[in-house]
Amino acid sequence: MSRPLARSVLKLLSLSFLISLNISAESKGFIFLEKYLSQIEIVSNSEDRKIGLMYRKSLPYDSGMIFAWDRKKIQCMWMKNTSIPLSVAYIEDTGEIIGIYDMVPLSRKSVCSKKPVLYALEVNKGWFKKNGFHVGDFININAVIQNAK
């Protein structure tokens, strides 16, 4: 095989691979939070994020709180003054869930994202598992944030 032909074949294979990656991401699609949560609180300023779900007695099953930061960085959550058992998902700006963790009520131990993120979603403990959400899934986080404005 000639060099120009070999390069063309290699480029074609590379392009085919990239297209297949894109198609698999598109076929996965986004999970629409609004189908699962009827009430989504968004906290995007420092004071509201510090308080989060502290001091509340309960959280309705179909409710959650999105924490939105101004810039991507390793984010950490804790359960100080929070008696509700919660799970948290750390979410990239693309909507990809990069980590889901169960939190211990009233714990001061920080649970941090493994990579820099812009968002976190807190819900009742076990909610992600019960609703089939997994690390690697994509949710429509940017649409939820934009619709709240």
Q: How far is CA 124 from CA 4, 37, 72, in A?
A: 59, 11, 25
Enter the CATH code of domain 31-148.
Answer: 2.60.120.1140
The pLDDT, as a whole number, for residue 148 is 79
Looking at residue 147, its pLDDT comes to 84
Say which residues have a Cβ less than 8 Å from residue 135's Cβ, sequence separation at least 6: 97, 98, 99, 100
Provide mean pLDDT across the span 6-33.
Answer: 53
Q: What is the pLDDT of residue 19?
A: 42
Whole-number Å distance between alpha carbons of 131 and 85: 17
Predicted confidence band of residue 146 (pLDDT cuts 50, 70, 90): confident
pLDDT at 15: 43
Whether 26 shows a pLDDT value over 50: the answer reads no
Q: What percent of the chain has pLDDT over 90?
A: 76
Average pLDDT over residues 2-26: 46
- Where is pLDDT greater, at 7 or 48? 48
pLDDT of residue 3: 59
From CA 81, how far away is CA 89, in angstroms rounded?
20
43-93 confidence digits (pLDDT tens): 999 999 999 999 999 999 999 999 999 999 999 999 999 999 999 999 999
> Between these two residues, 131 and 12, which has the higher pLDDT value?
131
- Give the per-residue pLDDT at 16: 46
The domain limits of the chain are 1-29, 31-148
How confident is residue 18, by pLDDT bands cut at 50, 70 and 90? very low
Distance CA 126, CA 142 (A): 23
